């Protein structure tokens, strides 16, 4: 039988062409849709006899209106019957063209339904991979069903749309770039892509990923944020790298960080600090006494230095202070803590640790 939704969509389209009146009937003679606002009556028994017969076409004349009933097939089975009515005496060619058009539409819907089922299997695989202890037999079974290799390098990408309703559109699009090994599915209001890595010679993973995301942006209507994790070479690494991106999502949401693409590798040091036992930092820095004003100044100053790779000119611009003011602050920190982060790599690690510790304390997350 024809999908009632397809019938209505088809009728809505044909209603724009009022020369012919089009009606679609189910295999039991029920009216599924019509462009005929008058909805002229028809002999249901005649229609049922036609549907159950071996005839493909039935032509009738009612006063000055000619009608052609023509069967629509889905493979070898009757899906419905379409009626074309008009004053025109030669409407059979038009009815035949509509028959071909509707049969193609039905076939397309079946293909879409089949693809949707495959994508559902991909989402089942994603759910398995995100388990703390995925069932290896289930992972193998799903990989076999969707024709994917189980352990090849795949980079985890999370796409967070501004409008979640686009997910259903995206999931039905051909999002494969240069390989059919990608695993794509909806998860928790996001589109998750396990992108099979296929970089060119001498091309980095980041360059390849950027090229893929450019392709994605150019070929879809996606508008939102992309989070890019590390590449998992084995299926049991996916869950860990997903946790990395879950942390990154929370971090950029909390900090209200501007941007469209966020690579976890650029936040690796902050992530590692967040995993560091706070008690150890508390003991290490316990002897340092800070007023809130001095702590805020230190946090803001070192944030600017870190983000600008300790370039004095760019850092002072970000801080909206004169270069000499920044140099004065650095001299103060050098005297107080015996550090020189501009010239010492080891002291830069110290700066990051102290910066993180103070943010935790004065944001109320790490202590009194």
- Confidence bin at 115 (pLDDT 50/70/90): low
74 backbone dihedrals φ, ψ, rounded to 5°: -115, 100
- Confidence bin at 365 (pLDDT 50/70/90): low
State the pLDDT at residue 114. Answer: 66
Whether 119 has a pLDDT exceeding 70, the answer reads: no
Whether 156 has a pLDDT exceeding 90, the answer reads: yes
Average pLDDT over residues 209-237: 93
State the pLDDT at residue 194. Answer: 96
- The string of pLDDT tens digits covering residues 54-99 is 999 998 887 778 889 999 998 888 999 999 888 888 888 888 988 9
Average pLDDT over residues 230-258: 93
Q: Which of 103, 113, 111 is nearest to 7 (CA)?
A: 103
Average pLDDT over residues 250-259: 88
- Confidence bin at 167 (pLDDT 50/70/90): confident
State the pLDDT at residue 255. Answer: 80
Whether 241 has a pLDDT exceeding 60, the answer reads: yes
State the pLDDT at residue 19. Answer: 78
- Confidence bin at 364 (pLDDT 50/70/90): low
Whether 368 has a pLDDT exceeding 70, the answer reads: no
State the pLDDT at residue 330. Answer: 94
- The string of pLDDT tens digits covering residues 191-201 is 999 999 999 98
State the pLDDT at residue 327. Answer: 94
Whether 126 has a pLDDT exceeding 90, the answer reads: yes
- Confidence bin at 278 (pLDDT 50/70/90): confident
Whether 300 has a pLDDT exceeding 90, the answer reads: yes
- Residue with the bigger pLDDT between 148 and 254: it is 148
* Segment of 43-52, 102-111, 137-146 carrying the highest mean pLDDT: 137-146
- The string of pLDDT tens digits covering residues 309-331 is 899 999 999 999 999 999 999 99
Q: pTM of the full predicted structure?
A: 0.60
């Amino acid at each position: 039988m024809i999908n009632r939704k397809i019938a209505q969509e088809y009728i809505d389209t044909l209603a724009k062409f009022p020369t012919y009146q089009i009606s679609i009937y189910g295999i039991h003679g029920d009216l599924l849709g019509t462009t005929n606002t008058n909805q002229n009556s028809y002999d249901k028994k005649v229609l049922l006899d036609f549907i159950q017969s071996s005839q493909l076409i039935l032509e009738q004349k009612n006063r000055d209106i000619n009608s052609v009933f023509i069967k629509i097939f889905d493979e070898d089975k009757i899906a419905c019957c379409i009626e074309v009515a008009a004053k025109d005496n030669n409407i059979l060619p038009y009815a035949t063209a509509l028959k071909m058009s509707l049969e193609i539409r039905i076939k397309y819907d079946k293909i879409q339904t089949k693809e949707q089922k495959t994508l559902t299997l991909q989402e089942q695989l994603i759910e398995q991979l995100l388990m703390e202890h995925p069932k290896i037999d289930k992972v193998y079974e799903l990989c076999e069903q969707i024709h994917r290799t189980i352990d090849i390098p795949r980079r985890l990408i999370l796409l967070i749309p501004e409008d979640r309703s686009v997910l259903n559109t995206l999931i039905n699009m051909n999002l494969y770039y240069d390989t059919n090994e990608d695993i794509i599915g909806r998860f928790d209001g996001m589109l998750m892509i396990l992108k099979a890595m296929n970089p060119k010679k001498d091309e980095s993973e980041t360059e390849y990923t950027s090229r893929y995301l450019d392709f994605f942006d150019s070929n879809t209507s996606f508008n939102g944020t992309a989070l890019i994790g590390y590449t998992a070479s084995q299926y049991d690494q996916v869950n860990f790298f997903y946790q990395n991106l879950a942390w990154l999502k929370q971090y950029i949401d909390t900090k209200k960080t501007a941007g469209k693409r966020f690579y976890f590798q650029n936040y690796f040091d902050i992530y590692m600090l967040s995993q560091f036992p706070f008690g150890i930092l508390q003991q290490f820095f316990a002897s340092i006494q800070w007023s809130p004003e001095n702590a805020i100044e230190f946090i803001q100053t070192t944030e600017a230095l870190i983000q600008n790779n300790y370039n004095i000119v760019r850092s002072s611009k970000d801080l909206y202070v004169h270069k000499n003011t920044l140099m004065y602050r650095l001299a103060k920190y050098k005297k107080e803590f015996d550090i020189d982060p501009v010239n010492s790599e080891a002291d830069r690690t110290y700066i990051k640790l102290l910066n993180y510790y103070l943010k935790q304390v004065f944001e109320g997350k790490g202590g009194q």
